[in-house]
Chains A and B, each alone.
Chain A
């Protein structure tokens, strides 16, 4: 059983924003909605790192936990999707999400939120696959075409990897072994866990 994951290799991301553009183009998202963005840490300082971030499709998804209408669901593949017909635009998922994934097209008066929009892992939504409604609401359903998210597939440096967790981690493991460094990857460990013990030891040495 596939478990879909994104993984961004900070050693490789060159901040070209190709993934951001590809995503906008593929799904024709409304103006002001950014399903994916590239953040550069320590910009302009030696050791700067860029990370492409979108919905991380969490196993214990905060958005899902706080949604007052319970409009989120996990697919078989662990992709977090939501039903826009149910969404009331309250903004709770936006408060809860650590990655700033939920987006709102601000169409209403006083910045009133519309229906939430977020990265779907190119898996569409609850509408019938490849239907016009599905495309309008959620964008293209590439997963149902046997393809992977456009952002990862078109990444020029292959910094952003997406797909079955086993495959992705295998690719990354081989890569990290080959180059012998830079296993500090934008993935679940960074996002959720503390740094591994080995790294923390190094940090202490660096400080003393």
Chain B
């Protein structure tokens, strides 16, 4: 008999965060709830095996399930060909830029989106992301590089700001 005594506590403690991750994958709160419950239901079944560290398992199920639901899916929210560029640090422009990023995020493949969400939202190191996605570190880095290019993100900008 599998001991599932810690399952409810785990869900209570972590599921808000997991729901946010699911939302970033699906872009719809209803679908995010479906996706999260799918992952949690599968985790419940094998709780005896994964209860020590359920997070990687839950992330893996969420990313794989999302990819199998939608594969490379567009939802009519394709980024514009020319994204707005701004010369100065206009606060309003920052919101526009984030809107553009959000729109561009929708056009990423499920794999690229998973890398972005797990690394930049969940703050997981790329080695951990690779374990979750079941691929090599170099493959994750390739996905990350392509995704950042599509999101118009320059990884060097943070370093420059920190130095400055």
**A and B bind:** no
Seen from chain B, the residues whose Cβ lies within 8 Å of a Cβ on chain A are none
Seen from chain A, the residues whose Cβ lies within 8 Å of a Cβ on chain B are none
